[in-house]
């Protein structure tokens, strides 16, 4: 296992998931993480079964192969399947296994906000964004939090629990998404939130997800 990472690679990113199938969105966030977090390398860990999702549509072997094909030109991204080695599908067991084998490495575990709510669900006793951010802010009162959402979420943001109080806990960063920008910028939330409380970013639009791909 020590050979997974080069000896001079210290900062390692871990992106786990079912990759059912892998897509450009996975590659996009991986490259952002490599750059922003100054990672030496990043590992895609393909899971046989995501504990939070239904049975995968594609076989494990096919998802591994597709992930390898997608990242073959990415020198800093490697694809691995470790379920059989760690005998577990739990994130803690995966990270514990990697840390024991690579004690001198600094690991960064990448997840989406939706998964963060699931991971912390037992502690916060809620699946609401306000409760999640309130929990994190209480534990990290001196930290400045930024909450990232897509433009599609801004459209219905005014229907979220205690949505007007969310900016008190974290600055909202909204990323543009194809076909949603006009509605988002004319939404109730965009008109009622203070300008200092949120940022709209016109990044490279990438309207893609594994769920969307599976429909074709």
CATH number at residue 130: 3.40.50.620
If you average pLDDT over residues 180-205, what whole number do you get? Answer: 89
Strands 106-110, 11-17: parallel, antiparallel or unpaired by DSSP? Answer: parallel
Say how many domains are in the chain: 2
Residue ending a domain, choose from 110, 138, 164:
110
Q: Are residues 38 and 72 both part of a single domain?
A: yes
- Band of residue 21 on the pLDDT scale cut at 50, 70, 90: very high
Last residue of a domain, one of 65, 85, 110: 110
Provide the H-helix boundaries in the chain: 24-36, 60-71, 83-86, 91-101, 113-119, 121-124, 129-139, 151-155, 181-185, 188-192, 210-214
Of 30-39, 69-78, 80-89, 132-141, the poorest mean pLDDT is in 80-89
Tell me the average pLDDT across 176-196: 91
* Pair 102, 165 in one domain: no
Judged by average pLDDT, the poorest of 177-181, 190-194, 212-216 is 212-216
Are 145 and 186 members of one domain? Answer: yes
- What domain range includes position 103? 2-110
At a CB cut-off of 8 Å and minimum separation 6, what does 92 contact?
none
Is there a domain that residue 178 lies in?
yes
Q: Is residue 197 domain-resident?
A: yes
Rounded average pLDDT over 54-83: 92
pLDDT value of position 87:
84
Residues 17 and 82 grouped into a single domain: yes
Q: Is 43 inside a domain boundary?
A: yes
Is residue 30 a part of any domain in this protein? yes
Domain shared by 163 and 68, yes or no: no
Claim to verify: residue 7 and residue 32 sit in the same structural domain: yes
Which of 23-27, 160-164, 196-200, 212-216 shows the lowest mean pLDDT across its residues? 212-216
**In this structure, are residues 124 and 132 in contact, taking their beta carbons and an 8 Å threshold?**
yes
pLDDT at 89 over 80: no
The answer to whether position 144 is within a domain reads: yes
């Amino acid at each position: 296992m020590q050979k997974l990472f080069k000896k001079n690679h210290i900062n390692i990113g871990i992106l786990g998931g079912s990759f059912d199938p892998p897509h450009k969105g996975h590659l996009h966030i991986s490259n952002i993480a490599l750059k922003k977090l100054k990672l030496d390398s990043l590992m895609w860990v393909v899971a046989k079964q995501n504990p939070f999702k239904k049975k995968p549509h594609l076989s494990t072997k096919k998802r591994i192969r597709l992930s390898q094909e997608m990242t073959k030109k990415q020198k800093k991204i490697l694809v691995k399947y470790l379920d059989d080695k760690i005998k577990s599908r739990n994130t803690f067991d995966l990270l514990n296994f990697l840390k024991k084998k690579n004690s001198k490495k600094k690991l960064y575990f990448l997840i989406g906000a939706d998964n963060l709510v699931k991971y912390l669900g037992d502690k916060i006793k809620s699946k609401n964004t306000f409760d999640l951010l309130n929990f994190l802010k209480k534990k990290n009162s001196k930290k400045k939090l930024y909450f990232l959402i897509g433009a599609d979420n801004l459209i219905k943001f005014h229907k979220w629990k205690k949505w007007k109080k969310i900016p008190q806990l974290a600055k909202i960063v909204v990323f543009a998404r194809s076909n949603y920008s006009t509605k988002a910028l004319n939404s109730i939330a965009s008109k009622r939130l203070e300008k200092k409380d949120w940022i709209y970013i016109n990044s490279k639009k990438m309207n893609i997800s594994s769920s969307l791909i599976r429909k074709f």
